[in-house]
Amino acid sequence: MRRNRAIILPMVDSTEAMSFDETQAVDRHKQKAPADVPPGIPVLEVQDLHVSYGPKRAVDGVSFTVNEGEIFGLLGPNGAGKTTTLSAIETLLQPDSGSIVLGGIDVRLNPLAAKAQMGVQLQSTGFHQRLTILEIVRLFAGLYGVSASSSELLDMLTGVGLDEEVGKRVDQLSGGQRQRLSLLIAIVHNPRLVLLDEPTGGLDPQARRQLWNRIEAMRESGRSVLLTTHSMEEAQAVCDRVAIMDHGRLLALDTPAGLIRKHKNDPRVRGVAHGRVTLDDVFIGLTGQDFRD
């Protein structure tokens, strides 16, 4: 069951702010080579993570790393433990055991310093509906300790294609525009790691493709991204590596092409495939075909 989450904002002494170069907004997912990603410098290290809700073990011994400049996808059916894992990384849940290290900082021992290194875009974000988007960006920049003039804030909004909407209130924005605003808020303080919880859920194909390009632009700028998604197309398009989890455990971890290569002859995968094996077939083969609430 999904739990409501709130962002706790750290104060950060930084004058840097992210702006997207629209010339980078191309379909890089078509250009990505299927070769395995070489080992990089870990930005996030999760080791043997356990999280429980009362007697229910929601995350059961999960371990993975996210490297510098990498887009890492966390995949799983409803109730698999994806959002609980993100909540523990964000310090919104206290794990039973295990370690989470972000940029050399122990998240459990020093949560405020860790929060300064991360940006979070939730699946749904409750911005004040009567504020204009320029007012919202100014508010969050101030909360994060980012000094920016009105022209600099406008440049940020231009970078995410919202420069013509600066005077609009949040309740006047489309779903895609709200997602772009939420993404800008997540990176306004120039974090090393950006956490995205189903960032393209409910978007039309054009808005989804634009958001993919913006996520890839973050990778090009050197940021690391950890995202959850139910879309195998999205995972294969933008993620360098993906982990499939179910019932709180990691079942597989590799590049999308690597997962297909490793599991294409698995009887469970062959049993659900229709012709050439896809990442979707691997996912269903490993997690089963039962409906999940």
List, for residues 67-87, the tens digit of each pLDDT value. Answer: 999 999 999 998 899 999 999
pLDDT at residue 247 in the model: 94
Non-local CB neighbours of 36 within 8 Å, separated by 6+ positions: 254, 255, 257, 258
pLDDT at residue 82 in the model: 93
pLDDT at residue 243 in the model: 97
The domains of the chain are located at: 37-117+195-260, 125-190
Which H, E and C letters describe the chain, residue by residue?
CCCCCCCCCCCCCECCCCCCCHHHCCCHHHCCCCCCCCCCCEEEEEEEEEEEECCEEEEEEEEEEEECCCEEEEECCCCCCHHHHHHHHCCCCCCCEEEEEECCEECCCCHHHHHCCEEEECCCCCCCCCCEHHHHHHHHHHHCCECCCHHHHHHHHHHCCCHHHCCCEHHHCCHHHHHHHHHHHHHCCCCCEEEEECCCCCCCHHHHHHHHHHHHHHHHCCCEEEEEECCHHHHHHHCCEEEEEECCEEEEEECHHHHHHHHCCCHHHHCCCCCCCCHHHHHHHHHCCCCCC
Q: Which residue has the higher pLDDT, 53 or 121?
A: 53
pLDDT digits (tens, 9 = 90+) for 249-289: 999 999 999 999 999 999 999 999 999 999 999 999 999 98
What is the rounded average pLDDT of the residues 189-197? 92
Q: Which residue has the higher pLDDT, 53 or 174?
A: 53
pLDDT at residue 24 in the model: 36
pLDDT digits (tens, 9 = 90+) for 207-249: 888 888 888 988 988 899 999 998 899 999 999 999 999 999 9
Q: Are strands 97-102 and 249-254 parallel, antiparallel or unpaired?
A: unpaired
Of these ranges, 6-20, 68-82, 194-208, the one predicted with the greatest mean pLDDT is: 68-82
Return mean pLDDT, the chain: 83
Percent of the chain past pLDDT 90, that is, above it, reads 48
Q: Which residue has the higher pLDDT, 46 or 34?
A: 46
Q: pLDDT grade, residue 165 (50/70/90)?
A: confident
pLDDT at residue 149 in the model: 84
CATH topology assigned to domain 37-117+195-260: Rossmann fold (3.40.50)
Q: From CA 172, how far away is CA 195, in angstroms rounded? A: 26
Q: Which residue has the higher pLDDT, 120 or 179?
A: 120
Q: How many CB atoms lie within 10 A of CB 264?
A: 16
